[in-house]
Copies of this chain bind each other. A is one copy, B any other.
Amino acid sequence: MDLRKLRYFKVVADEKHIGRAAKVLHISQPPLTRQIQQLEEELGVTLFSRNPKGMELTDAGVLLREEVRNIFSLIEQATERTQKAGQGRLGRMDIAIFGSGIMGDIPKMLLFFKERYPEVNIVLHTMGKGEQIKALRQKRISVGFNRLLAPLADISSELVSMEKLRLAISTKHPMASQDHIPFEKIREFPLVMYPTAGRPNFIDKTIRLCQLAGFTPDISQEVGDAVTGVALVASGFGACLVPESATVLSIPGVVYKPLSDEPDEAEVDLSCIYRNDDESPLLKAFLETLKEFRTIKDNRSLDELC
């Protein structure tokens, strides 16, 4: 079977006239006659009854015409969908986020992507840093969101945003009424820190920052994630350093205080990671959209400053 024959058949069926059909197809009449004959021979079926004034479809021909319509529409659909997939506009994308990643820029970015690529099905997985890297290597995910990533040979990363830090303290603490807290006052708080897994992590970062500021922090408790940390602060466990985005999490008894006089690097990154060798157009589209997202975000913050 040959699509050319089916295409020719369709035109002849529409025109009921080999000569006219040949004109429509921009070929001469004899080859068209032959193609139709071959199609009939191949199927072992008479598709047209030849009248002196043209050709008429037989019942079998009428049926085939219907089927041919379906075949062509299916082929058209297949090429369209394949092309979309090739441009990263169609498919499934498995993305990992970390526990408190549901707050802040990640959902905004994902929504932004979803608007531009509505036919890409995003599947979210929650996993820690080490697990994300493993899942990337096993191709179970294409992208992971995380912070404080150590460079790796087979994995690249792309910055999403930098976030300032805030100090979560109890509303009952004397400093709860202050506008901001000088960085070096952190030494006075017993600190709840996270996460326990995935080096280098936020704990390492904090210790380094404190040492830059000339003191060693008093780590009273280590927990798995920001939410747990803030919850402990609410119960009177001291203070907890969190990225700005985590302050959307409002818990009774806790206030988030901006810091002052902090060291220059008192910021954490939010980045996304992906395999170096991943040539998938989906990933390409995702990273491009990410860059676009970042510039729009920058412009917006500029706008807000004006």
A295 contacts the other chain (CB 8 A) = no
17 A-B contacts (beta carbon < 8 Å): A1-B75, A2-B3, A44-B86, A45-B83, A45-B87, A47-B82, A58-B280, A59-B281, A60-B82, A63-B81, A64-B78, A64-B81, A67-B78, A67-B81, A67-B82, A70-B74, A70-B78
**Nearest B-chain residue to A42, judged by Cβ:** B79
User: Could you say which residues of chain B place their CB within 8 Å of the CB of A3?
Assistant: 1-3
B45 lies within 8 A of A63 (CB): no
A86 lies within 8 A of B280 (CB): no
Main secondary structure of the interface of A (DSSP, over half): helix
Contact A71 B68, CB 8 Å, known A45-B85, A60-B85, A86-B46: no
A91 contacts the other chain (CB 8 A) = yes
CA distance A71 to B67 in the complex (A): 11
Copies of this chain held together in the complex: 2
A63 lies within 8 A of B75 (CB): no
User: Could you say which residues of chain B place their CB within 8 Å of the CB of A79?
Assistant: 1, 43
Nearest chain B CB to A294 CB, angstrom units: 25
Contact A63 B85, CB 8 Å, known A1-B75, A74-B70: yes
A59 lies within 8 A of B91 (CB): yes
CA distance A280 to B45 in the complex (A): 11
A90 contacts the other chain (CB 8 A) = yes
CA distance A63 to B86 in the complex (A): 10
User: Could you say which residues of chain B place their CB within 8 Å of the CB of A74?
Assistant: 67, 70-71, 74
Contact A60 B279, CB 8 Å, known A43-B82, A70-B74, A71-B74: no
User: Could you say which residues of chain B place their CB within 8 Å of the CB of A282?
Assistant: 59
**Given B68, B75, B83, B279, which contacts A78 in the complex, CB threshold below 8 Å?**
B68
A86 lies within 8 A of B45 (CB): yes
User: Could you say which residues of chain B place their CB within 8 Å of the CB of A279?
Assistant: 49, 58
A28 contacts the other chain (CB 8 A) = no
Give me the 9 closest cross-chain CB pairs, A-B, nearest first.
Answer: A45-B86, A67-B78, A60-B85, A60-B86, A64-B82, A63-B85, A59-B91, A3-B3, A60-B82
